[in-house]
Amino acid sequence: MTEELNQVMTVRREKLDLLKERGIQPFAYSYSRTHMAQAAIGIYQVEEEKGSLDEEGFGTSVKVAGRLKSFRGHGKTAFGHLEDESGSIQVYFRKDALGEEAFETILELVDLGDWVGVEGPLFRTRTGEVTVRAVTWEFLAKSLRPLPFGKTEEDPETGEQIVHSGFADIEARYRQRYADLAVHPEVREVFRARSRMVAAVREFMDGEGFLEVETPALQPIYGGATARPFVTKHNALDRRMYLRIADELYLKRLIVGGFDRVYEIAKDFRNEGLSRFHNPEFTMLEFYQAFADYHDMMDQVERLMVHVADRVLGSRTVTYQGVEISFEPPFKRISLVEALAESMGTNPMELEEEDLRDRAERLRLPELEGAGRGKLLDRLFEALVQVNLQQPTFVLDYPRELSPLAKAHRDKEDLTERFELFVAGQEMANAFSELNDPIDQRARFEEHTGLRARGDDEAHQVDEDYIRALEFGLPPTGGVGMGLDRLAMLLTDQASIRDVILFPVLRTEE
């Protein structure tokens, strides 16, 4: 804590003590607000248009409440702005209307950031601003630590309000999200948009006849993806447990059980590094449909993306980091092997593992230790093809080594029926014609056991219970996993995943 901040907080503590000495409750229990700020302004405008104001120009009396964002005193009067979730409204205090004690308390003991409630009639000032003329006011919560409000200046040529942020340190903003939200209305709007996005996803899935379900976050065997898990221990059972890395295997158990269409919006956890596109805790949509294959799921994903864009943006075009992206269907579809062959100048499926490794090392690609043929192909695809996929593109038919849970391709040897959707160079969705042959599934798991022995700690474990479920019979099934954090980034034009997660994982604060 800086010396300046310490002094400010000391003064605010002293004001808190003075409030208590005057018998004023600085932390209220409740407040009977009648109107949000923007609703109050709207009511006055309607009354003004109807000519229903009184002789002095006053309208309805309202009770508003919010955080004090500005305050200036002028002798026996004072003006301020209260901000609530809907926006801000000006409030006007007069000594003769409030009484000397209440007015002096305003001038002496109120600070920016305090929460207050104000009651009084609405009117329009000489400068044209709809304002509440305070008849009574009260403290709702005293702010003991100053918020890092920015300084607002008006451009003399355009009249535009320019805010010079007092909270520019991005790491501090992530760490103190409560303060970030309090001083940056545009950040609050990002998370409102994210909420609308999730609601639109649910609306689509429910409309398609999918049942929303919940599956375990704490699992005895992790699976459904290739990733390192977070490990914990269940003390009562004296057994190791894992936070889920995916929902897939439990959702497919439900298809075995007789549900035709299921989906889950859930937190998943992967013990991986931090980046612009990776947070160890993230939100996934996964959905599974009986009697469908990956072609059906491509159609579902395309329609889902269009629906969400329409609902959240009111448009099928979004600008992301300066690039205009269109969600107008149909989305482009390309073959992974063909696209990679074009970039490499040779068919990657004909190369030996050492040749693939040599090419990856020459490109200085990361995380090659213990990587088998599948992971090497994946790293080369990321570096040579994926980065160039800006418009929505389905990449089809992945090598078998990369897809232990996908059915073998019905026409193409050594490939599987799998697609991934890429937008703005990033994976948005991953889907399969789900592998429903328990004998083949066991063989795939055992292949990954070999990869684990070679040092690939992201490889699958053998899940005996899941194989048992398949032995009861999984009908033909299509499945999709979609990262909702990345979708939120795209729809709100945010450069980092941390900008769309309210409380992202961060390094230890120094």
- Kindly indicate the confidence band of residue 237, based on its pLDDT and cuts at 50, 70 and 90: very high
**128 phi-psi bin (left φ>0, alpha ψ -120 to 50, beta other):** left
Decide if 381 contacts 370 (C-beta within 8 A). Answer: no
Q: What is the average per-residue pLDDT within 226-253? A: 96
Give the domains, in start order, of the chain with CATH numbers.
3-146 (2.40.50.140), 187-331+391-500 (3.30.930.10)
Task: Name the average pLDDT for the chain.
Answer: 93
- pLDDT, residue 400, reads 87
Q: What pLDDT shows up at residue 372?
A: 84
- Give tens-digit pLDDT for 288-315: 999 999 999 999 999 999 999 999 999 9
Calculate the CA 285 to chain-centre distance.
Answer: 12
Instruction: Find out whether 91 and 136 touch, Cβ atoms under 8 Å.
Output: no
Averaged pLDDT for residues 99-126: 96
Predicted confidence at residue 502, as pLDDT, reads: 97
Beta bridge partners of 163: 152
Average pLDDT over every residue of 338-362: 93
What six digits make up the tokens of 317?
Answer: 């075009």
Query: Is 464's pLDDT higher than 60?
Result: yes
**160 pLDDT above the threshold of 60:** no
pLDDT digits (tens, 9 = 90+) for 421-462: 999 999 999 999 999 999 999 998 888 777 767 766 677 788
Task: Give the alpha-carbon dihedral of 134, 138, 141, 146, to 10 degrees.
Answer: 50
Span 41-56, mean pLDDT?
96
Confidence check: pLDDT of 499 > 70: yes
pLDDT at 510: 74
What is the structure's pLDDT at 2? Answer: 86
Q: Is 118 helix (H, G, I), strand (E, B) or coil?
A: strand
pLDDT, average across residues 134-146? 97
What Rg, from alpha-carbon coordinates, does the chain have? Answer: 29
pLDDT tier at 501 (50, 70, 90 boundaries)? Answer: very high
pLDDT number for residue 155: 60
pLDDT digits (tens, 9 = 90+) for 89-101: 999 999 999 999 9
What is the mean predicted confidence (pLDDT) over 482-502?
Answer: 97
Residues in the chain: 510
Q: Which contiguous run of DSSP H or E holds residue 414?
A: none
Q: Is the pLDDT of residue 334 over 70?
A: yes
Q: According to the model, what pLDDT value does residue 31 have?
A: 97
Query: According to the model, what pLDDT value does residue 159 have?
Result: 56
Query: Could you identify the residue written with the tokens 């918020």?
Result: 147
User: Are the beta carbons of 266 and 198 closer than 8 angstroms?
Assistant: no
| Residue 247 to residue 35: CA distance in whole angstroms | 43
Beta bridge partners of 433: 478
Identify the pLDDT of residue 460.
77
What per-residue confidence (pLDDT) applies to 163? Answer: 57
According to the model, what pLDDT value does residue 6 have?
Answer: 93
Span of 69-73, 154-158, 176-180 with lowest mean pLDDT: 154-158
Model confidence pLDDT, tens digit, residues 254-292: 999 999 999 999 999 999 989 999 999 999 999 999 999
Longest dimension (CA), the chain: 90
Residue type present at position 205 = M
Give the per-residue pLDDT at 226: 83
Res. 157: pLDDT tops 70: no
If you average pLDDT over each of 74-78, 156-160, 402-406, which comes out highest?
74-78
Contacts of residue 385, Cβ cutoff 8 Å, sequence gap at least 6:
336, 339, 340, 343, 395
| For residue 358, pLDDT beyond 90 | yes
- The whole-number average pLDDT for the span 37-48 is 98
Who has greater pLDDT, 504 or 369? 504
